[in-house]
Copies of this chain bind each other. A is one copy, B any other.
């Protein structure tokens, strides 16, 4: 189920009038409407107001807020308020609070910290959600339900331990099987009874750096906690569905955050929504990657549920977005698949943890601020864009595989590097495609490959047999497959594949890898291509690749014992080609590698500069999003001279002149 078709883009954000006197509400709404705000996410943290004692509800304030918005023609995204518990509840039922990795039970405070396996939590949260669903299921102006908020974190309480044992029993059936899968004979961990198993925590089987002794157990606990929280989502969703089959249901995700297997989650969500909070100096390709990942969860448009109009507050330095930067980032989101542009939040909190987080109405509460004016300008623009754009699809010939289990597995590993970041490695590959102007889909190991010309699986540590077989067919049939260091090492229990690294892909890749060096940043070495031209440098993980029947595209060079050893290889297999990249190559080298990977395919390389061009298509139209991600003026060739220019009365000719953070949208009829 999708959200109902909207005539124009959803434009708005989180709104918490419960923090303000009622007499100010209409005044604020009047201001927001001048900015063409048309949607408000409400009721995100109101449980303590709605349920003042167990089973005693008071919807007076929420009714008023909903009436206020309805009267003002503002649509509603209605949250369930279960992401932060009332103080009375924790006092009455301490088991609802989580126990941390040091075994300490938390007291009331903060948010996103209910034990997902607490029966009290489930009973009480469902009680509230049922009341909400019954009361508001037929709100005319509701866009969708918003379950809880930013699910995250794990619990380590005894109740979770008990549920974990049941989860394991159901998965492994008998304890001998579990022992085998977990390789429990390691360090005398053999279990004889399910009750002997505890969650891996710092006071049990995790080291101080959070890495586990039994990697299989740690992985299962990550799966179990992700599932437990997903179950919290599902029971709320099912409760709502009982009363309301008309509105879509979502919860706001957080990009590549580690805790939850979002591919599994997305299956249970009607539409994906997410919160985009890049740090000010983060490469713009990272934001693009996050959008593509969020789109990739369902290979469908998504809601941009939150972004800040001006600045965050939790970074070491919270820089202001520059003039035009918020607009640029908003269009980047749309270009990558967003159906909405929403802010956290519409009115800035006067106190508390988020008081210095930016907002549409800042602390001055004025419409004359730069922030408000930029929000208003964007609101006016979006109101003129066709609603059809919201459902247009992004098309890519290249797919990059993202996999939460590999993310967990490789970051659980002790060695070869202490601080390996899975997401950084995905971004290393993504950025090279981005810099070549190539659109990318981010997919899971379970997705279809048939529409892609190039499939890239970086650090796919726990490559599944089904994916291996899929990829083998893909290459046989002419596809280009790229994989890297630390890929295809372990099975689903994090047991290294018998026969060694890459064993199941040895034929496809035509190589072997037995040794893997690790180099710090001050030990970087050169990479030469097969004409002995330096194409870049590398450090971190350095695989010593043995090219059995693969061609050597590049080799290490320098005062090292593996000077001249292959680092990048290409193997012809069937009608296709399989490329292996054995090291953490720098930007320049990756750029050169991606150009070579794509040459001879239907993937078109555009010189990208700092201008991003994305296309979203419907049956009848193509929308070109041409975005200057820099604060300098840039001139580029018009990629589609025949197209209509949106957003502007300006005509564009053969060349397009993009101002600082400038955006041009072209519509081409098919």
Contact = CB atoms under 8 A, between A and B. Distances in A.
A53 to B, nearest CB: 7
A319 interface: yes
Interface string A165-200: 000000000000000001111111111110111101
Contacts of A131: none
B86 A190 contact: yes
A350 B182 CA distance: 10
Contacts of A106: 203-204
- Prevailing SS type, chain A contact patch: loop
Contact of A109 (B192, B204, B413, B494): B204
Contacts of A206: 109
Interface string A344-374: 0000111111111100001111100111000
A414 interface: yes
A515 B320 contact: yes
A205 interface: yes
B414 A214 contact: no
Determine the interface band of chain A, counting residues with CB < 8 A from chain B.
35 or more
A196 B109 CA distance: 11
Interface in A62-110: 81, 84-88, 91, 100, 102-110
Chain copies in the assembled complex: 3
Contact of A84 (B188, B201, B322, B561): B188
Given A213-B352, A500-B365, A416 B318 contact: yes
Contacts of A364: 499-501, 512, 514
A595 interface: no
A588 interface: no
Give the interface centre of A195, A320, A498, A501 by most chain B CB atoms within 10 Å. Answer: A320
A470 to B, nearest CB: 24
Interface string A420-448: 00000000000000000000000000000
B104 A316 contact: no
Nearest to A47: B188
Contact of A414 (B192, B196, B314, B518): B314
A494 B351 contact: yes
Contacts of A500: 362-366
A46 B356 CA distance: 48
Given A108-B205, A109-B200, A353-B213, A313 B416 contact: yes
B417 A354 contact: no
A493 B362 contact: no
A350 B496 contact: yes
A319 B517 contact: yes
A350 B205 contact: no
Contacts of A371: 514-515
11 contacts: A19-B183, A48-B191, A84-B188, A85-B188, A104-B104, A105-B203, A214-B353, A316-B419, A323-B561, A351-B496, A561-B631
Leading 5 A-B pairs by shortest Cβ distance: A313-B415, A109-B205, A356-B415, A364-B500, A109-B204
Given A108-B196, A108-B204, A216-B351, 8 more contacts: A48-B188, A87-B191, A107-B203, A183-B352, A215-B355, A313-B415, A351-B490, A351-B493
